[in-house]
A and B are shown apart, each in its own frame.
Chain A
Amino acid sequence: MAEVVTRQFVPASQAAVKDAQLRQALRRAGTGFDGTRREAIEEVTPGVWEQWRVQARRIKEHTIGHLDYYLEMLERNVTAAGGRVHFAVDAEQANAIVSEIARANGVWTVTKSKSMVSEELGLNHVLEAQGIDVFETDLGEYIIQLADETPSHLVAPALHKTRGQVAQLFADQLGVPYSDDIEEMARIARVVLRQKFLDADMGISGANFLVAETGSLVIITNEGNGRLCTSAPRVHVGLAGMEKVIPSLQDLAVFLRLLPRSATGQRITSYMSMVTGPRRSEDEDGPEEFHLVIVDNGRSRLLADPALRESLYCIRCGACLNVCPVYQRVGGHAYGWVYPGPIGSIVTPGLVGVGQAKDLPNASTLCGACRDACPVQINIPRMLLHLRHNIAEGPEQYEGTGSDTESLLARGFASVMSSPRLLNIGRRIGRRLLAPIAKGGVLGPTRIPLVSRWTRARDLPIPAPRSFSEVWRDELAGQQSNRSGD
C-alpha cells in the first residue's frame, strides 16, 4: 500500500501555507476548475442540475445498499464476456494478483491510464521491483511519475506544480531543452509516450464506473490515453474500488452529465471508453486477456458504518477539493495519503484507520462548501462530525485516538456552562485577571497557553463587565415593546 504519512498533517500543512509557488498553483487551478464548474451548472436548465444530483444519489444509495448483489452480477457478466474478475481484500493481495497476471503473460512493459486505486495500492513500485517498466500515460500522472511524487488532486494529479516547475522537470529528466510552452511540453510527452504505447505488453487502467448488467468497465479521459492503454497491449488489467459498480447503462447516463461538469466544467468528456471483455474474434484489435481487479482495502469498514457509508457514493470528481478553503491553502500532499481534501478526510481515516489520521476530520471549519458542490450530495460535514465523535469518545476501535487534555477541557467547559452562577464567577475572575494586560478591551499577543494560539494573529476581547443576562435584568426586562416603531 502507498506510504501513509497522515500523522504529519500539521507540519506538512505548516510548510504548505508558506510555499508561495504551491499557493500560486492552487489558486490558479482551484479557482479555474471551480469557475468553469459553476458556469457549466448555470447553463443547465434551472432545477435540472438538482434533479440529476438527486437521481445520481439514489442510484448510488441503491447500489451500495445492495453491493453484494451487483458485484455478483458484474462478475457474471464480465466472465460471460470472456474476462476474468479477481476480488482483492487488501492492497497486498491486489498487488499480488496484478503481479501474477504480469508474470504469467511475460510482461515487461506496462502503460497505465490514470487510476487512483493503483496509487492507493502503491502498485507501480511493486511492479518495478519485479523489473517491469511502468509508464503513466495521463499527462499529469506522467509528470508526477517523473518527479517521483504522489498525486495532489483527484483529477489533476500534478496540480501542485507550476508550469515552470514542469518545464524544469522535463529538461532534467528527459534531456530536452527547457521550454515552458504548454503545447511544446505536451508534444514532448506525446513523443515519449507514443513509443511506450507501442511497446507495452500490458495496459492498466482505473475505472470510473463498472456496469453490472453488461459487465463493462467505463473510463473517462480527456487525453485518449485510456483508450490506447486498454486496446493496444496484449493484456488489459482494470483496477477498481468495489464501490464503482452501478446497475445499468441507463444509470450511467446521469453520471456522464454530472462528472465532467463537476470535475472540469466540461459539458461532456473528450473520451469515454467502455470495455466489455477482451477482443472478440470479429474485433480488429483489443487485448487477448481482460482482467478486472475489484479492491476492498478497507471499503468494507466504510460500508459497515451507516454514518460513513455515503462516502462510497463518491465519483472522484474533485469538486469538493476545488471549493474547500482548507485544501486550497494546504494542497493535496499535506493530507498524507492518496485521497486529499474533504472527501479524503473521510475516506483516508476509513481506509488507513482513524488512529493515524485524526487530524484530517478535525482540520475543517465545517463550512459546508463541499456538500453544496458534491454532485452526489454527499454530506461531508456530517461525516466529519461523526469521525470527530469517534475520536473523542467513540467505540472501541477508535479508543486512544482522542486527547486527554481536550477531553478534560470539554468536561470543564460543560460543567461551567451547566451553571449560570459558575459562568458569571468565571467571567468576573477572567476579567479581573485579564483587564490589567488588556488594551482597549482586547488582549494583544500573549504567552498564555492555548490563548496564544488565538492571539498570535488576532486580538481577543476580554469578558464584559456585565453579562447580557445582568443587563437584561437591570435595564431591559421592565421596558415595553415599542410596536409602532417611531
Chain B
Amino acid sequence: MSQPQPIRASLFVTCIVDQLYPEVGVSVVRVLRKAGVDVDFPEGQTCCGQPLYNSGFTVEARRLAERTLDILDDRGYVVVPSGSCGAMMRVFYLDLFADDPEMLARANDLSHRIYEFTEFLSDVVGYEPRTVGAANGGTTVAYHPSCHLLREMEVKEAPQGLLDAAPGVERVELPDAEQCCGFGGTFAVKYPHISEEMLADKVAAATASGADTLTACDMGCLMHIGGAVSRQGLPLRVRHIAQVLDSGAG
C-alpha cells in the first residue's frame, strides 16, 4: 500500500503515564509508528487540569489548561491515550473557557483535532492491527470501556474493533462492561467505601469473563482496577490497550 504523506500527530501522553507508567507511553509511540504515524512529543507538557476541574477548582484548572493550550496550539492532530483527559480537552475546555472568547477559540480549535489513541488509529489512520506482525502467543482480553471515553468522547467501537482485528488476541465479553469501575479521580479517596464496592464488582466481572488480560484506554481506571488485582494476587494482567496492541512489549 502506498501512502503519499505520513500522518503527523503530536502525543499528549498524560501526566499519569509520564510519571507512573512511561512504558505505556512507549507502547503508544510504537503502535502509532507501526501504523505509519509520524509522532511528535511536544515538550513541557504535564497535566491537562482535569483533576482540578472535576474537584471544582476552575481557577487552578484554567492555569493548567492554558499552559496545555500553549503547548498544543498549531500542532495539528493531538493524540491522547486516555478517554478522560481526552474528554477534558475536547469537551470540558469549552466549558472552562466559556466566558473568555479568545481562550474559547483556542480550546475550540483543539477540540476539533484532539483524538483518543484508539479513535485516532481507527477513524483517522484507518489502521489494521495485522500490520503489527504476529503476536507472541494467544491472549484472551476483556475490554473495560472507561466512562469518559464512552459517554463524553462517545468512542465505543474503535477499541473493540482494534482488539478484534489484532492477531493473537481473542476478545471476550466483560459482564456489565459499561458499569463504572469506581475510580472517579478524587472520588476514590474521598468516598473509598463506595469506590471499593464498585471496584469489587468490576474485579469480579473481569474474573468471571475468563480473560487473562483486562484492558482499557485509561490508566486512571487501570491503576484503580490493577491496584485491587495486585493486592488480591489475582491471576489477571491489567494493561493499557496500547500495550495489548504493541506485540513487541510482550
Contacts and interface: CB of A to CB of B under 8 A. Distances in A.
Contacts of A330: 194
Contacts of A20: none
Contacts of B44: 420
Main secondary structure of the interface of B (DSSP, over half): helix
Contacts of B46: 417-420, 423
A407 interface: yes
Q: Which range holds the interface residue count of chain A? A: 35 or more
Interface string A152-168: 00000000000000000
B196 interface: yes
Interface stretch (B103-111, B157-165, B224-232): B224-232
A461 B54 contact: no
A389 interface: yes
Contacts of B17: 468
B41 A458 contact: no
Contacts of B39: 481
B192 A456 contact: yes
B38 interface: yes
Contact of B26 (A372, A382, A406, A476): A476
Contact of B180 (A10, A367, A458): A367
B36 interface: yes
B56 to A, nearest CB: 3
A454 B189 contact: yes
Contacts of B133: 485-486
A363 B15 contact: no
B236 interface: no
A417 B44 CA distance: 10
Contacts of A479: 33
Given A326-B194, A458-B228, A482-B33, A406 B182 contact: no
Interface stretch (B59-67, B72-80, B114-122, B210-218): B59-67
B22 interface: yes
B21 to A, nearest CB: 7
B64 A457 contact: no
A306 to B, nearest CB: 11
Given A13-B194, A365-B184, A468 B55 contact: no
Interface string A382-408: 100101111111100000001000110
Interface in B1-29: 3, 6, 13, 15, 17-22, 25-26, 29
Given A13-B191, A325-B179, A459-B227, A485 B18 contact: no
Contacts of B196: 456-457
B3 A483 contact: yes
Contacts of A476: 26, 29, 41
A461 B18 CA distance: 13
B189 A450 contact: yes
B113 interface: no
Given A14-B193, A365-B147, A457 B52 contact: no
A126 B67 CA distance: 57
A366 B49 CA distance: 16
Contacts of B67: 418
B194 A427 contact: no
A407 to B, nearest CB: 7
Nearest to B231: A459
B201 to A, nearest CB: 8
Nearest to B37: A481
Contacts of A477: 41
A364 interface: yes
A91 B165 CA distance: 61
Interface size class of B (residues with CB under 8 A): 35 or more
A485 B187 CA distance: 41
B231 A389 contact: no
A369 B35 contact: no
B192 A457 contact: yes
A406 B55 CA distance: 9
B229 to A, nearest CB: 9
A471 interface: yes
A368 to B, nearest CB: 4
A369 B151 contact: yes
Given A457-B199, A485-B34, A472 B41 contact: yes
A365 B227 contact: no
Contacts of A418: 46, 63-64, 67
A467 B19 contact: yes
B58 interface: yes
A391 B230 CA distance: 36
Contacts of B63: 414, 418
Nearest to B130: A485
A325 to B, nearest CB: 5
B172 interface: no
Interface in B148-177: 148, 150-152
A392 B187 CA distance: 15
B181 to A, nearest CB: 8
A483 B22 contact: no
A66 interface: no
B178 A369 contact: yes
B19 A463 contact: yes
Interface string A12-56: 011001000000000000000000000000000000000000000
B238 to A, nearest CB: 11
B113 to A, nearest CB: 19
A411 interface: yes
A454 B190 CA distance: 9
Across the A-B interface, give the 9 residue pairs with the lowest CB-CB distance, nearest first.
A458-B227, A365-B184, A392-B56, A485-B131, A388-B56, A368-B151, A367-B180, A468-B25, A414-B60
21 contacts: A17-B193, A325-B180, A330-B194, A365-B180, A367-B180, A390-B56, A392-B58, A410-B60, A419-B46, A423-B15, A423-B19, A442-B230, A453-B188, A453-B189, A453-B190, A457-B227, A461-B21, A466-B22, A468-B17, A468-B18, A472-B41
Given A363-B194, A414-B49, 4 more contacts: A366-B54, A458-B228, A470-B22, A485-B34
